Amino acid sequence: MAKWISHRGESYDAPENTLAAFRLSLERGTDGMECDVHLTTDGQVVVGHDNSTARMGSAIMDIESSTYAELQKITVSGSLEKVYPGEKIPLLSETFQYLGEGREYYIELKGSDPALIPAVKKVVEASGIPVIQIVFISFSEELIAGIKKAMPEYCALWLNSLRTEDGIIGAEALIEKLDSLKVDGIDGWCHPDISKELVDAVHKAGKIFAVWTVDNPAHAAHLISLGVDAVTSNRAALLKNW
């Protein structure tokens, strides 16, 4: 049965990547949540999707060029400020309080700074969260391979659009790439040409096939019918109920 993962928390109804969104994910009982992490100049692992706060913030700051204290001077409630006023950029360590028992936490490593790997390792290991609940993801081949090497007991999925010039990547090429990165599977964009044959081939190779970001119930139902292992959605609770 596929798992429903709240994309940046329940971000359809609460400001993305904030404690409010993660709390809502736990309250609604989805199977897990997803976040994005960066490293500040003072070595803190903070949660936020973009490189800067321009889209969500009350002021514009570059996350990786700022200290944690500097980032705390602004709010990141975005267009939902009236409903969720004053939300701040959280530390990764703060978000664990809303993971809950048995739920999975997809943690995306952003950027390309290799220093993020030991910083995330330190935070995750200090959290006491069971290994089985953590899933690392990244578009960066270096970061996802690096985190798997540094923390081999944890699940790591390569983020990729699955796109090629001819449409969608073939099963042989995809599995070869996953093997070369020594990761546990793919977290792929919900490409319209994903087939049951592709999903089955990845599973036969002993790999996980997860997809993102799916908000349409009919599209979600189709992907579930193909046998994907997890669906990341901005409205994961609603889709799970449907």
Please give the Cα distance from 237 to 171 (Å, whole number): 31
Q: What is the DSSP letter of 209?
A: E
CA 51, CA 38: separation in Å to the nearest integer?
Answer: 8
Picking from 61, 62, 63, 57, the residue whose alpha carbon sits closest to that of residue 86 is 57
Per-residue model confidence (pLDDT) at position 4: 98
| Distance (Å, whole) CA 134 – CA 91 | 16
- Helix, strand, or coil (residue 177): helix
Say what the pLDDT of residue 178 is: 98
Q: What is the pLDDT along the chain (242 residues), one digit of tens a residue?
A: 899 999 999 999 999 999 999 999 999 999 999 999 999 999 999 999 999 999 999 999 999 999 999 999 999 999 999 999 999 999 999 999 999 999 999 999 999 999 999 999 999 999 999 999 999 999 999 999 999 999 999 999 999 999 999 899 999 999 999 999 999 999 999 999 999 999 999 999 999 999 999 999 999 999 999 999 999 999 999 999 99
Domain extent at residue 211 = 3-241
Cβ neighbours of residue 162 closer than 8 Å, sequence gap 6 or more = 168, 169, 174, 186, 188, 189, 191, 194
Query: What pTM, to 2 d.p., does this model score?
Result: 0.98
Calculate Rg over the CA atoms of the chain: 17
Q: How far apart are CA 182 and CA 232, in angstroms?
A: 23
pLDDT recorded at residue 45 = 98
CATH code for position 34: 3.20.20.190
pLDDT at 13: 98
The tokens of 9 are what?
A: 């928390």
Residue 171's CB: how many other CB atoms inside 10 A? Answer: 17
pLDDT at 50: 98
Residue 98 CA from chain centroid, whole number: 15
CB 195 within 8 A of CB 219: no
pLDDT at 188: 98
How many domains are there within the chain?
1
Q: Would you say 171 and 202 are in contact if contact means Cβ atoms under 8 Å apart?
A: yes
